[in-house]
Amino acid sequence: MTSGNISDTGSCRPVYTPAERNRRPLSANRRFMRCSEQNNIKSKVMKKVLWIEKNWGGSLNDISAEDFVGTLGQIMKTQHSGAAFWMGCSDGEYVLKIEKNLNLTFICGKNLDLELTVKTACWEDIHSLGILFIRGEFKLLEDLMEITKKTPPLPLTLN
């Protein structure tokens, strides 16, 4: 029988030849499952584990935005003028260095060969740029730092 015909047994279920089975559309549920499986694979592959290393001692692995904000609070409170911390990606292609003197350095590239350093106007700017780093918006961060590097330090507001 061909696609969509009722079988001789009176069943309302279509009978497909083996060749037609491969061409028939997936049910909505099977399409959803296949799509969600692909998304799960992509999210597992795309997930980057972030870390923080502090020059005053200590490190954090698999950090969240709260960990970043906490470390930012620590550097703001410290009296050590040379305090700095690094936030990096597990793949080793991106590092963000944050210094007590409001310098922010974005280091990127396969060999970490590109460095963009800017003098930010305030801690809120560093917070905004750090959140972009945590979200994995590295290209946007790089573009913003290129623009900021060419202009004097101004307060930066990102949502």
Q: Is the pLDDT of residue 63 over 90?
A: yes
| pLDDT at position 119 over 70 | yes
Q: Which residue has the higher pLDDT, 90 or 1?
A: 90
Q: Is 74:40 a contact under the CB 8 Å cutoff?
A: no
Distance, CA of 59 to CA of 43 (rounded, Å): 25
Report helix angle 65-77 to 123-135, nearest 10. 150
Mean pLDDT of 13-22: 58
Query: CA-CA distances (angstroms) from residue 87 to 93, 107, 126?
Result: 11, 10, 12
Residue 55 phi/psi, 5-degree rounding, is: -80, -10
Q: What is the pLDDT of residue 41?
A: 45
Between residues 3 and 59, the one the model is more confident about:
59
Instruction: Output the pLDDT for position 60.
Output: 94
Asked if residue 81 lies in contact with residue 99, where contact means CB atoms within 8 angstroms, the answer is no
**Per-residue pLDDT at 87:** 96
Report the candidate in 97, 72, 86, 89 with the shortest Cα–Cα distance to residue 136.
Answer: 89
pTM (2 decimals)? 0.65
Contact of 71 with 54, CB cutoff 8 Å: yes
